[in-house]
A and B are shown apart, each in its own frame.
Chain A
Amino acid sequence: MALPIYASPLQRAWYYGFRTICTLIFLFLIVPILVILPLSFNAEDFFTFTPEMLRFDPEGYSLKHYRDFFSNSDWQNAVVNSLRIAPMATFLSVSFGTLAAIGLSQPHVPFRRAIMAILISPMIVPLIISAAGMYFFYSRIGLQGTYWGVVMAHAALGIPFVIITVTATLVGFDNSLTRAAANMGAGPVRTFFRIQMPLILPGVISGGLFAFITSFDEVVVVLFVGSAGQKTLPWQMFTGLREQISPTILAVATILIAISIALLTVVELLRRRSERLRGMSPG
């Protein structure tokens, strides 16, 4: 929507006015995240820019909040717990989810809509309700406050993402390929790992990334289902924000932003690859 040369002054004003509004909204979206980055290098324990920082005086900047993060045992435990829980939950949701997505993509599935509704429901139900229900039920069966309780809860929350991304990839999957493989004597397992899996891998990986981020980022459910032994990074941040907020949180936030940029790049690359593959397959 480039501005035509014959535009009237009013149109010209609107054109630039609209762009200004959009720029402001983009700033609203992105600035809160970007402001965190320089603040995390603050040499003082303040949450605002000190005069030294504004003068770009090296004295105003330091890595002390990062040092605190890496030396504080609370934070380090939280990182370890997060890294113990998230991969296991991701593994569970990806392995069950991929199998089920393949099942759901078959042409004749009885009760397809009902099954789909059940499998997607963890994404629909507000987290606080899932957390309440899981807290009640898991304490009945003795899973509350255990590692496996948290892992299973997080796996359940990640499953809808795996189902959605993998079924979306399977829409473009050419079923004659598996038939051809079977025709040449490959068993179902071999067909799956040698033919189907490589082709749907981008979908599986991005579903897995979604599941990982769900678990890695999740705080409501772990607050209720977990106990002190499962204190994850988001939980530690939540306590920090609610009780004595320390600038270390900004250092953690910066590290997490770097991780999300990396993940965003990976998902985008996978999406492009998947689209390219789909363009190549016949039909």
Chain B
Amino acid sequence: MVNTADSSQDIAHSAPVTGPVLGNDGRPLKASLARSLRRQKLRALGLIAPLLIFVLLTFIAPIADMLFRSVENNIVGDVLPRTVVALKDWDETTGELPDNATFKAMALDLKEAVEDKSHTRLGSRLNYEQSGISSLFRQTGRKVKRLDVEETTDFVAAFEDMNKKWMDVENWQTIKAFSGRFTDGYFLAAADLTKGPEGIERVPENEQIYYTLLLRTLKMSLIITFSCILLGYPIAFLLATLPLRTSNLLLILVLLPFWTSLLVRTSAWKVLLQQQGVINDTLVWLGLVADNARLELINNQTGTIIAMTHILLPFMILPLFSVMKTIPPSYVRAAKSLGANDWTAFWRVYFPQSVPGIGAGSILCFILSIGYYITPEIVGGTKGVFISNRIAYHISSSLNWGLAAALGTLLLVVVLGLYWLYDKFVGIDNVKLG
């Protein structure tokens, strides 16, 4: 691009020694270089842009939407605009009911809400926070149609007439507490907390499902990761020490399950683990288990742990294997020639060098396992399900999308934190496939 002979001439008679070095087009060389660099950057960005926009639209926007939904609470303000304004001046700590004007505002809001039935949606939204509110709104919605707003003066009495529960200060407190545009209610619910009149408190022991579920998810993921290490380490060790030809052949045995459809493997376990399945039949035939005392291997935690260990084992073996391949065999030989016995040579020399592989494999297995949905759903029964199954339940069955989003956000934070660790120790760029 730049002719050096010309530019040296340029320097010789056009510029003082201290001035900028010029190219043969008369521009400073530095500027031309910067421009060409900029053009290169733009070209690269131009190539990346279509995909980046695609991923932002199809993937990042949904995730952002989920994060937003976990705190979004527009429904109260949208359905009861007047009430929300009127409730602003009400002091909920005194234990007294709101004034007549607030009741009137509620009547006007409800009358409008009944038109498009949004009061039932509001009812089910507030029902997540306080059970019973849903039916209160539904019943009042039917009666409020007959209420003549022009004629009535005592709205408190009118509401008492429609449903006694309106005299319950708690209901008003709930409406006021969740009248903001944003709420932390879903996150509190996801952490088994609730907003009582005296601030945030724990829900009763027997209703603490999410805490138990999260603990179970973490505990079972740890067990699964640990079983993967236990089963994966010998295999990776064997593969790394065998001659290349044999190890390539044996590697196929690891890669085949890795490539087999997840549902195929899950159905295999569903079939094998049944009480009348192959494993129990074999055990009975061998005489290890009595026919009337067949093992319960499915629809409980055992089922989930066995199936998930099988499914995640390749994710442990492959990183372990790639780390072990780089450990020079001469180190162990050197240790032995210096007098170490087999165990010492392994434990003091070989094992420490394979620890990065264990770390990489464990984080990978753990991350994959805490987000698993399909396998626990099929072989886990009720006792062996994970937090993801609860998320799915809230999306498709209970329709409490806000809580599903909050649980999803918590899970996402845990997974991203673990990935940050993974990136620090292993590097995302080192992710290898197959």
A173 within 8 A of B: no
**Does A180 sit at the interface, judged by CB under 8 A?**
no
A224 touches B395 (CB 8 A): yes
Chain A residues packing against B (C-beta within 8 Å): 1, 11, 14, 18-19, 21-22, 25-26, 28-30, 32-33, 35-36, 39, 46-49, 92, 96-97, 99-100, 102-104, 106-110, 115-122, 124-138, 140, 152-153, 155-156, 159, 161, 164-165, 206, 210, 213, 216-217, 219-220, 223-224, 234, 237-238, 241-242, 245, 249-250, 253, 256-257, 260-261, 263-264, 267-268, 271
- The answer for the CA separation of A137 and B54 in the assembled complex, in Å, is 14
- In the docked arrangement, what's the CA distance between A95 and B48, Å? 11
The CA of A141 and the CA of B253, in the complex, are separated in Å by 45
A253 nearest in chain B by CB position: B264
Inter-chain contact B378/A159, CB cutoff 8 Å = no
B residues with CB within 8 A of A: 37, 40-41, 43-48, 50-52, 54-56, 58-66, 69, 231, 234-235, 238, 241-242, 250, 252-257, 259-272, 274, 276-278, 281, 310, 313-314, 342, 367-368, 370-374, 377-378, 388, 391-392, 395-396, 401, 404-405, 408, 411-412, 415-416, 419, 428-429, 431, 433-434
List residues of chain A with CB within 8 A of the CB of B415.
124-126, 129
Q: Could you say which residues of chain B place their CB within 8 Å of the CB of A110?
A: 41, 45
Chain A residues near B50 (CB-CB < 8 A): 96, 99-100
Please measure, in the bound complex, the distance between the C-alpha atom of A250 and the C-alpha atom of B264, giving whole angstroms. 8
Q: State which of A97, A128, A136 has its C-beta within 8 Å of the C-beta of B62.
A: A136
Instruction: Given the known inter-chain contacts A29-B253, A210-B433, A220-B373, please indicate yes or no for A96 contacting B54, CB distance below 8 A.
Output: yes
Cα separation A224 to B252 with both chains bound (whole Å): 34
Check A128/B371 contact, CB under 8 A, given A29-B253, A99-B47, A118-B52.
yes
* Contact residue among B268, B276, B411 (Cβ-Cβ distance under 8 Å from A129): B411
Can you name 20 A-B residue pairings with CB atoms under 8 Å? A29-B310, A33-B257, A108-B40, A109-B41, A119-B52, A127-B373, A128-B408, A129-B408, A131-B392, A132-B391, A134-B62, A136-B66, A159-B54, A217-B263, A238-B263, A241-B266, A241-B270, A253-B263, A256-B263, A260-B256
B-side contacts of A165, CB under 8 Å: 433
Contact, CB under 8 Å: A130 / B62: yes
State in angstroms the CA–CA spacing of A153 and B60 once bound together.
11
Q: How far is the CA of A58 from the CA of B260 in the complex (A)?
A: 29
Q: With contacts A109-B41, A156-B54 known, is A217 near B262, CB below 8 A?
A: yes
> Would you call B54 and A155 a contact (CB within 8 A)?
yes
A contact patch SS: helix
Give the shortest distance, in Å, between A226 (CB) and chain B (any CB): 12
Least CB separation from B278: chain A residue: A48
Contacts of A138 in B (CB 8 A): 62
In contact, A35 and B278 (Cβ under 8 angstroms): yes
Residues of A contacting B277 with CB < 8 Å?
47-48
Cβ-defined contact, B395 with A104, below 8 A: no
Q: Which 10 A-B pairs have the closest CB atoms?
A: A126-B371, A103-B47, A133-B62, A100-B51, A137-B62, A128-B388, A133-B66, A103-B48, A96-B51, A106-B44
**What is the distance, in angstroms, from A184's C-beta to the closest C-beta of chain B?**
18
Q: Is the CB of A132 within 8 A of B231?
A: no
Smallest CB-CB separation from B387: which chain A residue?
Answer: A128
Which single residue of chain B is at the shortest CB-CB distance from A235? B263
B261 CB contact (under 8 Å) in A92, A129, A217: A217
The CA-CA distance from A266 to B6 in the complex, in Å, is: 55
Q: Are B61 and A137 in contact (CB under 8 A)?
A: yes
**In the complex, what distance in Å separates the CA atom of A128 from the CA atom of B388?**
6
Return the chain B residue nearest A7 by Cβ: B342
Nearest A-chain residue to B260, judged by Cβ: A260
Contact, CB under 8 Å: A33 / B256: yes
Report the separation of the CA atoms of residues A92 and B50 in the bound assembly, to the nearest whole angstrom: 11
What's the least CB distance linking A175 to chain B, in Å? Answer: 12
User: Known contacts being A49-B281, A97-B51, is A130 close to B59, with CB within 8 Å?
Assistant: yes
Given the complex of chains A and B, what is the CA–CA distance between A130 and B58 in angstroms? Answer: 10
User: Nearest chain A CB to B380's CB is how many angstroms away?
Assistant: 11
* A257-B260 contact, Cβ under 8 Å, with A32-B265, A125-B415: yes
A7 to chain B, nearest CB (A): 10
B259 close to A264 (CB less than 8 A): yes
Q: In the complex, are the beta carbons of B51 and A238 less than 8 A apart?
A: no
Asked if residues B238 and A22 are in contact (CB atoms below 8 Å), the reply is yes
A125/B63 in contact, CB under 8 A: yes
> How many angstroms between the C-alpha atoms of A119 and B256 in the bound complex?
27
- A30-B257, A33-B256 in contact; A129/B371 too (CB < 8 A)? yes
Closest chain A residue, CB of each to CB of B404: A132
Whole-angstrom distance between the alpha carbons of A30 and B116 in the complex? 58
Q: Which residues of A contact B265 (CB under 8 A)?
A: 32-33
CA distance A165 to B310 in the complex (A): 26
**Given A47-B271, A100-B50, A132-B391, A257–B44 Cβ distance below 8 Å?**
no
Minimum CB distance partner of B389 in chain A: A128
Most buried by B among A28, A97, A107: A28
Cβ distance B406 to chain A, nearest Cβ, rounded Å:
11
B51, A32: Cβ atoms under 8 Å? no
User: How close is B305's CB to chain A, nearest CB, in angstroms?
Assistant: 13
Tell me the complex Cα distance, A51–B288, Å.
Answer: 20
Contacts of A131 in B (CB 8 A): 392
Alpha-carbon gap, A237 to B60, bound state (A): 29
The smallest C-beta distance from B379 to any residue of chain A, in angstroms, reads 9
Asked whether B419 lies within 8 Å of A124 as measured between CB atoms, the reply is yes
List residues of chain A with CB within 8 A of the CB of B431.
Answer: 120, 164
| Contact of B44 with A224 in the complex, beta carbons under 8 Å | no
Q: Which residue of B lies closest to A105 (CB)?
A: B44
Interface contact B405-A136, CB-CB below 8 Å: yes
A168: shortest Cβ distance to chain B, in Å? 8
* Closest chain A residue, CB of each to CB of B422: A124
Q: Which residues of the partner chain A approach B269 to less than 8 Å between Cβ atoms?
A: 32
What's the minimum C-beta distance from A113 to chain B, rounded to whole angstroms?
9
Q: Complex Cα distance A251/B419, Å?
A: 38
Partner of B268, one of A36, A49, A122, A267: A36
How far apart sit A32 and B411, CA to CA, in the bound complex (Å)? Answer: 31
CA of A37 to CA of B285, assembled, Å: 21
